[in-house]
Each structure stands twice: as C-alpha cells, then as structure tokens.
Amino acid sequence: MVSFLCSTKSLFIFFIISAIPVAYIISVERAEPSTHVYHYHSSGWLRECAKWDDLDRRFIVSLFEGGVALVEVPDGHSPGTILEEIIVVKEPELAGNASLGIAVDRRRNRVLVVNADVMRNRYGSLAAYDRSTWRRLFLSQLSGPGDEKSFADDVAVDEEGNAYVTDAKANKIWKVGVDGEILSIIRSPLFTPKEWYKTLVGLNGVVYHPNGYLLVIHTFSGNLLKIEIEKEEVKLVKVGGGKLVFGDGLELISPTKLVVAGNPSGRLVESSDEWETATVTAKYSGPAHRLATAATVKDGKVYLNHLLGMGYPRKTHALVEAVFSAY
C-alpha cells in the first residue's frame, strides 16, 4: 500500500477517495445496483485492469501487488453469487512491482501484462504468458535504474503481435516485437501538454484499431491521440461533445465506438472519419468511490473494472456493467 501512495497517479486517486464522504460510500455499497455487477473475492485491495477472455469464459485480472488472476464465470451464474479470484501468475523476481495493463492476444493464445515500479518509477517491463498454461514466454525490461523515470502503464497488441506500452510519466510508447525485443520508442511533442499540471499523469489507456493505428488517452489533459504505427505519426483527435479529462483504460467496442473508463465512470466516444474527429455521445456514472480504471466487453456488454476492493479481511471487487445514456 505504501508504494501505491507514493506515485503521482496514486496520490491523485487517494485525494479523490478522501473527498468522498464515508456515509455516501456506505449507502452506495448497500444499495441495489442499477446494472449487472460481477462481484468477486480477492486477497488484495487494488485491481487495475480486467479483460474478458471469451474462449474460456473468465475475466483475467491484474494484481496491484504483482501477478495475474482469473475470475471464472460459470454457466448459469446467479447475480447474487460472489465469484472467487484464482491467482495463476506470481513472479518472485517481479516482487515490489505492480501488474497493470493487460492485453489478450487471442491469435497467439497469449496474454501480455505490464509491470511497473509505482513508487520510484525505476522499473518497467512487459511479460507474455501462454493463455492456457500460464507459462512465461518472455519478460522484456522496458526501463531500469539508469534510465529516465517512467511508469509503464497499459498495453495493446497489433495484428502482427507487436505490443505498444504507454509510459504515463515520461510520455512515450514502447513498441515491443512479438518475441519481446524492443523495436522502437515513439515520442511526440503532442504527448506533452504545455501546462505543467496536465503532465502529472500522461499517456495511459491504449487500443489497437483494426485499420492499423493506435488510439491513446492522455489522462490529465483529456487529449485523445491517433498514432499511425507504420510511420509513427501522431495526430490529436478533435473531440467534441464533452471532455475526456481523467480518462484511463480504453476499449474499442467497434471500429467507430470507443469506451473511455475514468471520471465519470465511463464515456462513449464515436467517430465516422477514422478517428480524425470524434464526439462524446454518452456517459455512464457508476460507483465513483471504487474508481473505474479499465473497460472490457463480455457478450456484447461493456463492463468497467474498478480499482478499489471493499471489505475486510476478504476484499470484494466489482466489475460493473456500463449502460450509457446520452449527454
């Protein structure tokens, strides 16, 4: 927990939590949820990311204390039944680092996981695991003590198996090859806003678009960026209809629709011109005290992962269905 409180991103989250009245939290936790929720028991307080694995009917969850877990959803699951977290990856050599962004590479039957030193910003890596056996395929160090401070955060994978990892502190993107080799580092002046206070948490959620480019959110500025990966050309998407400030995890639900998790819980963004421009068309406000950090799609429905677990000694986490309403 100490490491969580020592990073800029984490201090911001702590500030938001401390501003929420305890009575409000209790009332929300006791109230009947307005949408479907998967609750699951966990040994940890913090879960940064969850992605739905449709092949094996389970959520794959990253552990803030480091590692990967599964939350299996049996057929005929009752909404009132609390599921259980099953840890499948726990790497001693990565002790002290948080596991953050996840990408499921179905074509190669593997899962990519970002690891980072959230306290000192002196280590970042990308690990790949076999989706069936959880055997580690590679572990690629992205940054170390001799490098600039960085915060490896989220990951997306393209059709060729190349991975793209965002750096929320130094505002860059590592491109990692299918076998774990670092191919390049993408930088751009557009990654760094002029205002200092908008640089506290930078490049965050990232998705790969099937037409061959990345979409990336910059958390504190709310900027949505389009990156042509062949040319490594960066453009600022002109977004209307609302702001994307505090955007975190992204999920592309169709070539023209993007979900941005964050504050509020989720926003729906749409584009009809290959993401040269876009419009915020709808939003969803869920349990704000739990802090939505990632989005995933299960059976055509969007679910938001929430960072904070509630309860003691067993923590209960929530994956909440996001039903969007127009602005």
d(CA 105, CA 131): 9
d(CA 110, CA 4): 28
Give 16-25 pLDDT, tens digit per residue. Answer: 555 566 666 6
d(CA 187, CA 29): 42
8 backbone dihedrals φ, ψ, rounded to 5°: -60, -45
The reply to whether 41 falls in a domain is yes
The reply to whether 300 falls in a domain is yes
The reply to whether 268 falls in a domain is yes
Token pair for residue 132? Answer: 């069936």
How many domains would you assign to the chain? 1
Give 70-93 pLDDT, tens digit per residue. Answer: 999 999 888 889 999 999 999 999
The reply to whether 25 falls in a domain is no
Which pLDDT does position 246 carry in this prediction?
96
Q: Which DSSP category does 310 fall into? A: B
Give 27-83 pLDDT, tens digit per residue. Answer: 666 667 789 999 999 999 999 999 999 999 999 999 999 999 999 999 988 888 999
The reply to whether 283 falls in a domain is yes
Which pLDDT does position 26 carry in this prediction?
62
d(CA 18, CA 30): 20
Q: CATH number, domain at 241?
A: 2.120.10.30
The range of the structural domain enclosing residue 93 comes to 35-326
CA dist list (Å): 318 to 21, 32, 79, 112, 304 = 20, 13, 12, 22, 8
The answer to whether 115 touches 99, Cβ cutoff 8 Å, is: yes
The reply to whether 17 falls in a domain is no
In one letter, which amino acid is 216?
A: V
The reply to whether 282 falls in a domain is yes
Give 256-315 pLDDT, tens digit per residue. Answer: 999 999 987 999 999 999 999 999 999 999 988 899 999 999 999 999 999 999 988 889
Task: Decide: residue 132, CB within 10 A, 0-12 exposed, 13-18 middle, 19+ buried.
Answer: exposed
d(CA 8, CA 121): 10
* Coil/strand/helix, residue 199: helix
d(CA 269, CA 271): 7
179: confidence class by pLDDT, cuts 50, 70, 90: very high
Nearest to 295 by CA among 182, 154, 167: 154
Q: Mean pLDDT across the stretch 169-195?
A: 97
Q: Mean pLDDT across the stretch 174-202?
A: 95
1: confidence class by pLDDT, cuts 50, 70, 90: very low
206: confidence class by pLDDT, cuts 50, 70, 90: very high
Is pLDDT at 142 greater than 90 in this prediction?
yes
Lowest-pLDDT choice from 33-37, 175-179, 224-228, 232-236: 33-37
Is pLDDT at 6 greater than 70 in this prediction?
no
**Residue tagged 């690629």 (tokens):** 140
The reply to whether 87 falls in a domain is yes
